[in-house]
Amino acid sequence: MRELFDEAAGQSPPDPREAARQSARAPLRKRFYKAADVTEAEGGFAITLDGKPIRTPSGRQVVIPSRELAVAVAAEWAAQGETIDPVTMPLTRIANSVVEGVIDRVDDVVDDLAKYFETDLLFYRAGHPEGLVAREAAHWDPVLFWAAQTLGAHFILSEGIMHVKQPEEAVRAARAALPGDAWSVAALHMITTLTGSALLALALVHGAREAGQVWAAAHVDEDWNTDQWGVDEEAASRRAVRARDFDAAVAVLAAVKPLVAKGP
């Protein structure tokens, strides 16, 4: 089963869009097991296929800290038909990436995630039309105000796509607010990659924004274009795949947050 998720063997959580493209190109393997179950393991819960624990490409056993999350991962395996399609298993892909590429190097992944604070989606604003300008402000300004007032992170905005260098103090303040556990960091990395905004991901994990608000804020420009020109079916299909990965990352955050708050 290890080769099913080779994209998780990298040095940081995979770009979910690239992972989906790779999985789409790869031939699907036939289902080789009858039952997927959850069993207790050292440090949490393991997923078993016909009694054998699933492992990452390098052979590490996947151990999940939350029973609720483990049950959801097992359900992905149980839901597979005659073939196994990794695209339909976002929770499993996150679990693999955590065990394979994040647990041993959380600080490195946090550093990679923090780089998004230098070029965040929310910094680059449309100059026109007025309706789009107003819509971006309605979705994005509350997050920037929250970052400034709560975190002390004061960022600079720019009109258009011209790069603007952000204050180092703001980037450091936002980075300091990132969680330090591997599961939350991996989920935030995926949310950031999907939305283009580490600030939206940070607002989500701190409860300043709900998941639906984050997803809507990430697609302000796209939704504006849809309102003007109609639905692009191909783009809508790609968005649906991204939404599935986003929902999975949100589910991981929800499952591990009580554990993180509780501490060792």
pLDDT tops 50 at residue 175 = yes
Instruction: Specify the fold of 107-262.
Output: ATP12-like fold (1.10.3580)
Q: What is the pLDDT of residues 50-64, one digit of tens each?
A: 999 999 888 999 999
CATH number of 2-104: 3.30.2180.10
Dist. CA 188–CA 152, nearest whole Å: 20
Map tokens 């179950």 to a residue.
37
Could you give the residue range(s) of every CATH 3.30.2180.10 domain in the chain?
2-104
Dist. CA 186–CA 188, nearest whole Å: 5
Could you give the residue range(s) of every CATH 1.10.3580.10 domain in the chain?
107-262
264 residue type, one letter: P
Q: What is the pLDDT of residues 92-130, one digit of tens each?
A: 999 999 999 999 999 999 999 999 999 999 999 999 999
Query: What percent of the chain is modeled with pLDDT above 70?
Result: 88
Q: How many CA atoms lie within 13 A of 262 on its CB side?
A: 8
- Longest CA–CA span in the chain (Å) reads 59
Angle of helix 211-218 versus helix 220-229 axis, rounded to 10: 60
More reliable by pLDDT, 3 or 147: 147
Q: What is the pTM of this model?
A: 0.88
Q: What is the pLDDT of residues 232-248, one digit of tens each?
A: 889 899 999 999 999 99
